[in-house]
């Protein structure tokens, strides 16, 4: 933590960056995102087990961009999000300094995409055993049971769009959900509208989701949305060998055709 604060002070003092996006004290025992703009505020920064939010979500916001060059405290999913945003032309190289935090809590300054790529290459993108078990459980359900499961989950949805707000890859200025000519997704929180919204969002995140889990954490009613994204990510990996957020320049499986692509999923 001290290392991080020192680096933050250094970066702000030298003027290398104008703002550090990190975690600071929130209400009660919680942490929240803080935007440190003065060296003396660097002591606000916290880095511990509570710091899970994917801070890359702020990098594409016009208000944050207006602050100037940013450094962001970045756990692995955040680093992947930065690369994925780069692949989608939302960030340019050198625009962001990532203060990479390894799972052991060690900090590394990564100022180029290449450095992030190399850093990430040292860690596997495998799902944890627990995550795998949960997916496995869902897979083993009959289609009817699975449908029932998700219907029950989606029934809870109040359409607050917290999942969208928390997601670093939901950067569209005008979301499809706000489009009303035609009205792709019924706006009211009812069965069809909720199903439409979550399925379309999951499809939009296929081969893009970096598995940070923020959608589920943000959800006030506890829908395990990350499972949809993990399932799709695994399918894309199985079919096309593609993982999102590993390179700053990478193909998008859904708009890319290769002769060797297997087509056994077309039935």
Stretch that binds another protein, among 66-74, 150-158, 169-177, 186-194 (CB under 8 A): 169-177
- The answer to whether residue 243 forms part of the interface with another protein (CB under 8 A) is no
Q: Is 66 in the site for another protein (CB under 8 A)?
A: no
Give the CA distances from residue 117 to residues 17, 75, 98, 194, 265, in Å, rounded to whole numbers and listed in that order.
21, 13, 12, 36, 31
Span between the terminal Cα atoms of the chain, in Å: 53
Task: Tell me which stretch binds another protein (CB under 8 A): 2-10, 38-46, 84-92, 235-243.
Answer: 84-92
Nearest distance from C-beta of residue 228 to another protein, angstroms: 16
Among 66, 129, 188, 255, binds another protein (CB under 8 A): 255
Write down the least CB distance from residue 248 to another protein, Å: 14
Helix (H) or strand (E) holding 147: helix 143-155
Q: What is the distance between the alpha carbons of residues 23 and 48, in angstroms, rounded to a whole number?
A: 9
Q: What token pair was written down for 50?
A: 């509570």
Under the binding rule (CB under 8 A), the answer on residue 251 touching another protein is yes
Length of the chain counted residue by residue: 267
Q: Shortest distance, CB of residue 193 to another protein, whole angstroms?
A: 15
Q: CB neighbours of 112 closer than 8 A, spacing ≥ 6?
A: 93, 94
Q: Which of 18, 65, 69, 204 binds another protein (CB under 8 A)?
A: 204
Contact between 254 and another protein per CB under 8 A: yes
Instruction: Kindly determine how many residues on this chain lie close enough to bind another protein according to the rule CB under 8 A.
Output: 19
- Long-range contacts: 135-139, Cβ < 8 Å, 24+? 135/227, 135/230, 135/231, 135/234, 138/227, 138/231
Contact letters (x/-) for another protein, 170-189, by CB under 8 A? -xxxxxx--x-xx-x-----
HSE-CB of 114 using CA atoms within 13 angstroms: 0
Measured from the CB atom, the residue of 144 and 173 that comes closer to another protein is: 173
The verdict on 249 binding another protein (CB under 8 A) reads no
Q: Point out which residues bind another protein (CB under 8 A).
A: 88-90, 171-176, 179, 181-182, 184, 204, 251-252, 254-256
């Amino acid at each position: 933590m001290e290392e991080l604060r020192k680096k933050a002070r250094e970066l702000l003092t030298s003027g290398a960056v104008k703002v550090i996006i990190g975690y600071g004290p929130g209400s009660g025992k919680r942490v929240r995102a803080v935007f440190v703009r003065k060296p003396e505020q660097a002591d606000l920064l916290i880095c511990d087990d509570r710091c899970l939010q994917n801070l890359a979500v702020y990098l594409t916001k016009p208000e944050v961009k207006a602050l100037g060059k940013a450094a962001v405290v970045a756990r692995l999913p955040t680093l992947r999000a930065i690369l994925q945003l780069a692949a989608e032309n939302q960030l340019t190289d050198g625009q962001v300094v990532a203060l990479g935090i390894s799972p052991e809590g060690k900090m590394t300054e990564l100022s180029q995409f290449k450095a992030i790529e190399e850093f990430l290459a040292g860690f596997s993108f495998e799902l944890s055993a627990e995550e795998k078990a949960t997916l496995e459980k869902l897979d083993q359900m009959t289609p009817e049971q699975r449908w029932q499961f998700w219907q029950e989950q989606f029934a809870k949805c109040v359409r607050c769009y917290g999942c969208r707000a928390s997601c670093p890859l939901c950067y569209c200025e005008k979301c499809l959900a706000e489009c009303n000519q035609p009205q792709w997704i019924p706006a009211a929180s009812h069965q069809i509208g909720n199903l439409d919204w979550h399925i379309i969002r999951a499809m939009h995140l296929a081969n893009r989701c970096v598995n940070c889990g923020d959608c589920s954490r943000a959800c006030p009613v506890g829908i395990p949305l990350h499972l949809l994204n993990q399932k799709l990510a695994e399918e894309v990996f199985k079919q096309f060998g593609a993982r999102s957020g590993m390179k700053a320049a990478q193909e998008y499986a859904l708009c890319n055709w290769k002769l060797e692509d297997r087509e056994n999923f077309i039935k």
